[in-house]
């Protein structure tokens, strides 16, 4: 699914003023990279990335203002191509008349921001990167447990939503039930959220759909959360050997990111919510450098060594 971003979206989401080139506000932006055409101001357009959003700060505009009128017109004409999605002027600076004129004739939107160049660059880049981030949807439940985003997966009917309900009752926060929309931000972060239609809702077989926010309050839900751990629920299989020490580190790859995964066997009498809660706490301890399984293994090894002496 390819997300479409238009220059109009920037006008809708940021404190930008449309100065000229209103015919081009529906031009599409294809890249999250933003160009600051500094060397282009000197007349060198060989590597000009014309399909990117162009940003003119104090340096570029001061240089432009010092050029001769015919040079200014030449640079303005070369900057405003038929695929340039827009030019953003920062710091609320005065815009040269020739730039306004060329922007109107070429249909390249000319936008002005009152903020400093670095701030505008980072905010626009973050917005565009989030929009263009790789995206997928996974069947499961995402819960924030002690600040750890835990994605609970498993076959339909295994008890994912019931476990999530118990976790919410224990003070944790629901992010998404049934379908989790996942975006990859940066190269190692997966951010999970709920489709708008089913946000804050849990489906419990026998009860139907319940609204977690209405029942448990605003503190019981979150809009999005970074996924740090996957817990897969499966029906207890007598023939399968389950990890009893926790030394095996299994991971699952979602898009380009590997996430630690644990498999929990489900059978009557096991309180899954408490086990998942402890798994999240244990994960936090591991991140802080405390690994109980490794400590036990070392302790056992040293006892065996001492026993030999």
Q: Helix, strand or coil for residue 107?
A: coil
- Residues annotated within a binding site: 154-161, 203
Told to judge if 139 belongs to the known catalytic residues of this protein, a careful annotator would answer yes
Counted residue by residue, the chain has a size of 309
Binding-site residues for Mg(2+), in ranges, read 161, 203
Q: Compute the Cα dihedral for 291, 297, 301, 302 and give only its sign.
A: positive
Catalytic residue among 9, 131, 178, 261: 178
Question: Which residue in 75, 160, 173, 200 is the catalytic one?
Answer: 160
Out of 58, 116, 119, 139, which one is annotated catalytic? 139
Tell me the helices (H) and strands (E) count for the chain, helix number first: 9, 18
Q: Helix 97-106 to helix 69-79 angle, to the nearest 10 degrees?
A: 30
- Per the annotation, the verdict on 160 as an active-site residue is yes
Which of 126, 144, 138, 40 is closest to 84 using CA atoms? Answer: 40
Task: List the beta strands (DSSP E) in 100-236.
Answer: 110-112, 135-139, 141-145, 148-154, 173-176, 179-185, 189-193, 201-204, 208-211, 224-235
Q: Residues annotated in the binding site for ATP, as ranges?
A: 154-161
CA–CA separation, 10 and 89 (whole Å): 13
Could you confirm whether 225 is annotated as catalytic? Answer: no
Out of 244, 253, 267, 308, pick the active-site residue. 244
Catalytic residues: 139, 160, 178, 244
């Amino acid at each position: 699914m390819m997300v479409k971003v238009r220059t109009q979206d920037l006008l809708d989401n940021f404190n930008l003023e449309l100065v000229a080139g209103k015919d081009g506000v529906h031009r599409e932006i294809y890249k999250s990279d933003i160009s600051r055409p500094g060397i282009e101001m000197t007349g060198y357009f060989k590597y000009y990335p014309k399909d990117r959003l162009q940003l003119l700060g104090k340096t570029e505009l001061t240089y432009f203002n010092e050029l001769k009128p015919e040079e200014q017109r030449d640079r303005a004409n070369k900057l405003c191509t038929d695929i340039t999605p827009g030019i953003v002027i920062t710091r609320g600076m005065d815009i040269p008349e020739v730039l306004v004129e060329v922007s109107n004739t070429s249909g390249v939107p000319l936008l002005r921001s009152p903020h400093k160049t670095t701030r505008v660059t980072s905010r626009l880049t973050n917005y565009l990167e989030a929009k263009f981030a790789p995206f997928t949807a996974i069947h499961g439940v995402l819960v924030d447990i002690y600040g750890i985003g835990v994605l609970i997966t498993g076959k339909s009917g295994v008890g994912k939503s019931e476990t999530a309900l118990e976790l919410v009752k224990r003070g944790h926060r629901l992010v998404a039930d049934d379908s989790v929309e996942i975006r990859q931000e940066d190269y190692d972060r997966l951010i999970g959220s709920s489709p708008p239609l089913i946000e804050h809702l849990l489906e419990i077989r026998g009860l139907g759909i319940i609204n977690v926010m209405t029942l448990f309050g605003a503190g019981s839900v979150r809009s999005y959360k970074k996924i740090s751990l996957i817990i897969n629920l499966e029906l207890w299989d007598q023939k399968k050997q389950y990890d009893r020490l926790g030394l095996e580190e299994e991971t699952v790859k979602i898009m380009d990111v590997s996430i630690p995964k644990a498999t929990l066997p489900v059978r009557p009498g096991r309180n899954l919510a408490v086990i998942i809660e402890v798994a999240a706490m244990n994960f936090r301890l591991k991140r802080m450098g405390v690994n109980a399984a490794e400590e036990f293994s070392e302790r056992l090894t040293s006892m065996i060594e001492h026993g030999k002496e």
